[in-house]
Amino acid sequence: MDVHLEPWSESALGLLRSINTPQMRHHVGGPESEEQLLARHRRYLALPETGRGCMFAVLLGAEPVGSIAYHRRDWQGEEIYETGWNVLPPHQGRGIAAAAGAALIAVVRSAARRAGAPSGLHAFPSVQNAPSNALCHRLGFTLRGACDFEYPAGSGAVMRSNDWRLDLSDLSARSDRTPSSRGRGGGPSMS
């Protein structure tokens, strides 16, 4: 299966609109308005310039089938990397999220080698999102427990999430697992 990541671009706006559905955004507060969606798209485009992370389109061959990201954030008194993902419904259950997750972990491990970089990658899927929680486990994350998580950041809206952490300093950790995943979304990503 030819799954790869492509940095977010202007052409990914159509993908973002495809993700902005009640089904895809069920665990993260529902669809956004067009204004909110365009603001999100602009943040995704600008993210690499900040040096704090990157948003990617997930491609199956040349077809955009989802998104995945990482970015720095403060969490419980420490700076971490956060990740989240989406795979469009026609492509769920085929291992695409697992392949994209493994590819992203390799990117983040490389970023974590820089001086002052966070040593942990966290995912915060809703406690009710069983497929995304299972994917975190399959990718080698460790469940730290349930938590209240503000999403989008600064909104005041709090969701009950699981805090999954992957130790980026453990170079022996396996991120090449390729199980099937049916996750609709990996929880909050890039508010």
Of all residues in the chain, what percent carry a pLDDT higher than 70?
Answer: 88
- Quote the DSSP letter at residue 61: T
What pLDDT score was predicted for residue 171? 53
Contact 175, 141 (CB under 8 A): no
The sheet that has 63-75: what strands, in order across it? Answer: 3-7, 53-60, 63-75, 78-87, 120-123, 158-167, 142-150
190, pLDDT greater than 70: no
pTM of the complete model: 0.86
What pLDDT score was predicted for residue 56? 98
Beta bridge partners of 152: none
Question: Rounded mean pLDDT of 23-47?
Answer: 90
DSSP per-residue string spanning 125-165: -BTT-HHHHHHHHHTT-EEEEEEEEESSTTS--EEEEEEEE
- CATH class as words, domain 3-167: alpha beta
Question: Rounded mean pLDDT of 52-74?
Answer: 96
DSSP per-residue string spanning 10-22: GGGHHHHHHH-ST
Question: Rounded mean pLDDT of 17-33?
Answer: 87
| Residue 41 neighbours by CB distance under 10 Å | 18
Contact 114, 98 (CB under 8 A): no
Residues comprising the chain, all counted: 191
